[in-house]
Amino acid sequence: MSYLRRLDIDYIKIDQSFIRSLTRGPDDVALCHAIISMAHALRIRVIAEGVETESQRDILLAAGCDYGQGHFFCPPVEASAFEAFVSAVT
């Protein structure tokens, strides 16, 4: 916690171990919500790591999470497929 005050941090990540348990009970939701609220109070944006389901995404959106990453948004892709995608959109 002391690093949040001392370092010039723009983003923090919520580890996937917290995200995995979001749908198991209210305590896990409360913990993620507290992390997001604290970060926002310090003007830090939040990235949720390991979002795999629509339910997880919805809970995080309701809590005010700024960004998400994980299989729900895009599963891992081969490097060649990623390069083709980037070439197509640029």
CB 68 within 8 A of CB 45: no
Is the pLDDT assigned to residue 3 strictly greater than 90? no
Examine residue 21 and state whether it is found in any structural domain, yes or no. Answer: yes
Is the pLDDT assigned to residue 8 strictly greater than 90? no
Examine residue 2 and state whether it is found in any structural domain, yes or no. Answer: no
Examine residue 56 and state whether it is found in any structural domain, yes or no. Answer: yes
Q: Give the tens place of pLDDT for each residue, 14-67.
A: 999 999 989 888 898 999 999 999 999 999 999 999 999 999 999 999 999 999
Q: What is the pTM of this model?
A: 0.82
Examine residue 3 and state whether it is found in any structural domain, yes or no. Answer: no
Instruction: Write out the residue range of the structural domain in which residue 43 sits.
Output: 10-89
Nearest Cα neighbor of 28 from 37, 19, 39 is: 19
Tell me which residue has tokens 């919500």.
33
Examine residue 5 and state whether it is found in any structural domain, yes or no. Answer: no
Residue 6: the pLDDT is: 81
Domains held by the chain: number: 1
Instruction: Please count the other Cβ atoms lying within 10 Å of the Cβ belonging to residue 81.
Output: 10
